[in-house]
Structure 1
Amino acid sequence: MEHLSSVSPWNAVSVIVLLIVALSILQGARRGATGSARQLYGFVSEGAAAAAALYLAWKGMGLLSPVLRAWLIGRDIAIPNRELSMWAQMYYTFVTSLRDFSLMRSTLVFLVLYGFVKGLLAHFVLPVLDRAVASSGRSREGTGTARRASAWTSVPAGALIGGITGAGRALIFIAGVLVYTTLFPDSPVAAYASQSSLYQRGAKDVIGPLTGRMLDKLPVLAGSVEDEFNQILKRKYEVLDARIPEDIAAAAQEITARKTTDEEKAKALYQWVGTRVKYDWEKVRLYEEERVWKEQTPEDTYKTRTGVCIDYSRLYAVMARAVGLEVKVVTGLGSDGRGGLGSHAWNEVYLAESGSWVPLDSTWVSSGGNWFNPADFNDTHIKES
């Protein structure tokens, strides 16, 4: 009662917690002692099965994820240099991402193992325990006289058991709110939930000690998930751009014909793309004002000689690969020339003679200045990950 007296009746989080417990008490009273005990057993057994499956899946993930990666590397999967169907694009994006991105691979292994272990427990272990509990309950019911004698205790006992079940359900709700507020500490939900003393007690006194420092790692994990998701989206472009059209390959070979080093080749392509492609301001306007994105391939950019930063970067990457250079398309933020930052894309190319990856921005060639590995490149470009 001391805790309840400090709860604002208008705080939705507190109201939901109280409703969960109250409805569970009413449900328990209606079911009676035996029915409520069975429900509580089911609630606890399901929770125990889920906890066991989570633990075993977590341990198995650490063992099997490296094995899966080694197997995929051994398969030597290469994206073919030809036009791919939609299903082939999806296959190569998925398989190469599974091989190269540890978080995606570990998550998939974890989910498969969790489903497998949970299924085994649900189909083979829990039914045996359920039958044992049901048999024990029937043996305790006794004769009709004994049942009538204990009937008056069934309702309050059921309500008590229902209250215990409701407390468990309320803690699950509080845990969900806690995870959300940990990921989004500046959100209105976080500020609102913090006003509930019931939520604070459940989060700090029960869930916090059980999870240890696990919740502290959630923001870092969420950031890693976002970074890897962006990498997977970029892998789609790598799959789409694996095919090098003959006219682009011929042009790249001609541009670099008299160049001998990787740096000379990379610079020649950087100058060519930057001076031959015109920035498509109409494409920018369509996206910013009408939210219409005009997708185009490197071949489209080569033929029309127009595009935006991602189109410059994809064309450069295809041309660089055509002459044997290793290259990446990089996305992030770039200076807008007015003291701010905006979404941008550029490239990184590997130079064998120096053994390093260097940045370049062919989109900005027309604006003047040197944007092929200048010392201050990172002052105007911020990579996503």
Structure 2
Amino acid sequence: MNMTMLTTMNFISVVLAVVVIVSMVQGAARGASGSMRHLLLSVMEGAVTLVSLFAAWKGAELLSPVAEGWLTARQIEIPAEPMSFFRQLYVTLATSMRDFPLLRFGIIFLLAYVVVKQLLYRIVDGITGRALAAAAAGRDGAPSFISAAAGGAIGSITGLGRAIMLIAVLFIVTTLFPHSPAASYIEGSQLYQKGAKEVVAPFTGDLIASKLPVFTRAVEREFANILQRKYEVIDANVPTDITAAAKEVTAAGKTDEEKARLLYKWVGSRIQYDWDKVRDYEEKGIWHEQTPEDTFTTRKGVCIDYSRLYAVMARAAGLDVKVVTGLGYDGQGGYGPHAWNEVYLKEKNAWIPLDSTWYSSGGNWFNPPSFAQTHIRDGA
């Protein structure tokens, strides 16, 4: 094999071919009866999985509203006092389960899937008994030539099934990330294209091609909301010195917008960007976690620290505020991880964005018209 063949070879095709060949060899080694038992066991495993998924989905649809009602009735609030780690975890999980339907559905679905699958395994094992034990054992001794040939044929069927499952996974990847280098490489495999076009796409219809990306974006948005809830819980206890400072800073503000803008200028001008913290993380992999009180005391931090301090000061001043994570323009043609805030203005009945971290860089980063061009929030 020369270097030209190696460079032009698509390894997706190689992997798919190897999956079928290995299954064929395994089938020949098991013989006809062993391969048939293995195939039946694989089919049974697939059937149990499909039934479990369907039952869990329906169960989650029924139980999710019940769980929401039960959690709402408990009236769980985020306490404005110091909490232990486990108390924070409980409040975050309980309020997120109550307020975020996809998270609630997903957790119930996973729990139901595990329970239903285990129950079905017990039922199937009780019915099949010795057949399942024999299939798990696998071998009948050295198979004859005819038995080995038949086993190889059966093994190739098993291999095709495995290859199709792998193609389905790759199909999902190319659907979710259609413009990525990985998608281009995957679609360069002729074996993948044949399986995707003739088997996976007709079988799934528009479920993957159109509905999965929409569902994925909804999950991303909800995940961003869960991160927001985490900061709400962690930073719920506002120290008295920060509360006093927030009230002093916003004392001249008559409206929510005036108060929010005063806080934006104060945080942006008083806090210095901590380049040493960034270098420790980028060069040594060390992340220095700090609370809003740490940022307030040291007057140093990075974007998430600016945003968390702004949030607790805004709440102390009576404003509704969010910590938003996503990507920020780096000024060099790219984007990097970033955090900023959104604050609710009652007089405008709207959430508006602001970036106190960028205040010292010049320009207006309090709800400018071009904000969305330089900031991409998670789940957008």
TM-score (norm 1): 0.80
The equivalent residue for 1:311 is: 305
In structure 1, distance between residues paired with 2:158 and 2:311: 59
In structure 2, distance between residues paired with 1:335 and 1:154: 64
Q: For 1:173-193, what per-residue CA distance to the aligned partner results, in whole angstroms no more than 9, with x for missing partners? A: 332333333334455554444
- Give the number of aligned pairs: 363
The equivalent residue for 1:143 is: none
In structure 2, distance between residues paired with 1:77 and 1:9: 60
The equivalent residue for 2:27 is: 28
Letter in 2 for 1:74: A
The equivalent residue for 1:180 is: 173
The equivalent residue for 2:264 is: 270
TM-score (norm 2): 0.81
1:165 to 1:288, Cα distance in 2 relative to 1, 3 A: closer
Deviation at 1:242, TM superposition (A): 0.8
The equivalent residue for 1:209 is: 202
Which is further off, 88-97 or 226-235?
226-235
Letter in 1 for 2:37: R
The equivalent residue for 1:247 is: 241
Which is further off, 306-315 or 109-118?
306-315
Q: CA RMSD in A?
A: 3.3
In structure 2, distance between residues paired with 1:314 and 1:133: 56
1:376 to 1:44, Cα distance in 2 relative to 1, 3 A: closer
Letter in 1 for 2:338: H
- Verify: 1:237 aligned to 2:236, yes or no: no
Deviation at 1:132, TM superposition (A): 8.0
In structure 2, distance between residues paired with 1:339 and 1:178: 31
The equivalent residue for 1:166 is: 159
- Verify: 1:363 aligned to 2:363, yes or no: no
Q: Matched residue of 2:353: which SS?
A: strand
The equivalent residue for 1:279 is: 273
CA contact (8 A) 1:274 1:363 kept: yes
1:239 to 1:41, Cα distance in 2 relative to 1, 3 A: same
CA contact (8 A) 2:125 2:132 kept: no
In structure 2, distance between residues paired with 1:168 and 1:339: 45
In structure 2, distance between residues paired with 1:257 and 1:124: 69
Answer with 1 or 2: which has the greater Rg: 1
Deviation at 1:326, TM superposition (A): 1.0
Deviation at 1:299, TM superposition (A): 0.6
Which is further off, 118-127 or 242-251?
118-127
CA contact (8 A) 2:224 2:324 kept: no
CA contact (8 A) 1:273 1:316 kept: yes
The equivalent residue for 1:66 is: 65
Letter in 2 for 1:344: H
Q: For 1:200-237, what per-residue CA distance to the aligned partner results, in whole angstroms no more than 9, with x for missing partners? A: 32222122211112221444444444444344334332
CA contact (8 A) 1:92 1:239 kept: yes
The equivalent residue for 2:54 is: 55
CA contact (8 A) 1:328 1:348 kept: yes
CA contact (8 A) 2:41 2:132 kept: no
The equivalent residue for 2:93 is: 94
Letter in 1 for 2:169: G
The equivalent residue for 1:142 is: none
Unaligned stretches of 5+ residues in structure 2: 1-6, 135-143
Q: For 1:146-168, what per-residue CA distance to the aligned partner results, in whole angstroms no more than 9, with x for missing partners? A: xxxxx996554444433333332
1:133 to 1:15, Cα distance in 2 relative to 1, 3 A: same
Letter in 2 for 1:100: D
The equivalent residue for 2:339 is: 345
In structure 1, distance between residues paired with 2:170 and 2:244: 58
Deviation at 1:90, TM superposition (A): 2.4
In structure 2, distance between residues paired with 1:179 and 1:340: 27
Q: For 1:357-376, what per-residue CA distance to the aligned partner results, in whole angstroms no more than 9, with x for missing partners? A: 22233334445554433444
1:155 to 1:236, Cα distance in 2 relative to 1, 3 A: same
Unaligned stretches of 5+ residues in structure 1: 1-7, 136-150
- Verify: 1:261 aligned to 2:289, yes or no: no
The equivalent residue for 2:137 is: none
